[in-house]
Chain A
């Protein structure tokens, strides 16, 4: 009878999933950055062209997208600091799991704050 492979310290656990999350958020942010430099470049075309393209960022649907993007950046940033701690701090590898939960906790706190502020601006007008 084939049995499931025994778990390892890495596969299917916090270490692996944080790596998956870090990789996906990294790529998403990179592609957004390409677009974001292009839209900002419109300040060299004309004030109206820039204000028009920025206007598209101000509708409520886009605000949800922006919130998702900020969520990706904040996760990547905090988890990136965790990776750095794993690599450079003597006890980093030992506490990598606890640090991941700290990252997720901080991420929730920051994102609740950001979402309230940004979405109420976008949906409420002011």
Chain B
């Protein structure tokens, strides 16, 4: 009789030898992979962001409401900023989750720190997304155009 021993990491491990108890699925592996994939994309997005906003032209002096209006008039930059927001927030949140797991030893402490973390992440992602898509270059309050806005000629 021959017993077949599957090679390690072939994924064909008998369920009773699996380390994750089968309940968590591949979550940690996918999180690990996401850190690397998002990292590569973030290098491009963030370096592009810093170059366009701080290095070209007048650099930081050029940044004001009109600068933002100019960028978000173009769907290209809306998409750029959206991708950067989501990827950086999810990457950063997962990184901080790892750090909480490393240092917070009590179950209750870990739980609470993660609740605060995920709440902050949700607020920032939702707020940032809304800001990108509801941006109005010609803001109006009580029927009056706010100073500094860019409005079409009447």
Contacts and interface: CB of A to CB of B under 8 A. Distances in A.
B68 interface: yes
Contacts of B63: 54, 57-58
B60 A77 contact: no
A113 to B, nearest CB: 9
Given A37-B85, A40-B131, A126-B58, A46 B146 contact: yes
Interface stretch (B3-11, B12-20, B87-95): B87-95
Contact of A117 (B36, B55, B147): B55
A77 B68 contact: no
Interface residues of A, number: 39
Where chain B touches its partner, the secondary structure class is helix
Interface in B70-88: 85, 88
Contacts of B66: 47
Contacts of A54: 63-64
A70 B59 contact: no
B39 interface: yes
A106 B73 CA distance: 35
Interface in A69-121: 70, 73, 77, 80-81, 83-84, 87-88, 114, 117-118, 121
B46 A50 contact: no
Interface string A19-60: 000010011011001100110110110111011001001100
Interface residues of B, number: 43
The 10 tightest CB contacts between A and B, nearest first, are A47-B148, A47-B65, A30-B92, A121-B59, A80-B39, A37-B128, A51-B64, A26-B95, A46-B146, A37-B124
Interface of A: 23, 26-27, 29-30, 33-34, 37-38, 40-41, 43-44, 46-48, 50-51, 54, 57-58, 63, 66, 70, 73, 77, 80-81, 83-84, 87-88, 114, 117-118, 121-122, 125-126
22 contacts: A23-B99, A26-B99, A30-B92, A34-B124, A37-B128, A40-B128, A46-B146, A47-B64, A47-B65, A47-B66, A47-B146, A48-B146, A50-B64, A51-B65, A66-B54, A66-B60, A70-B54, A73-B50, A80-B39, A83-B39, A117-B59, A122-B60
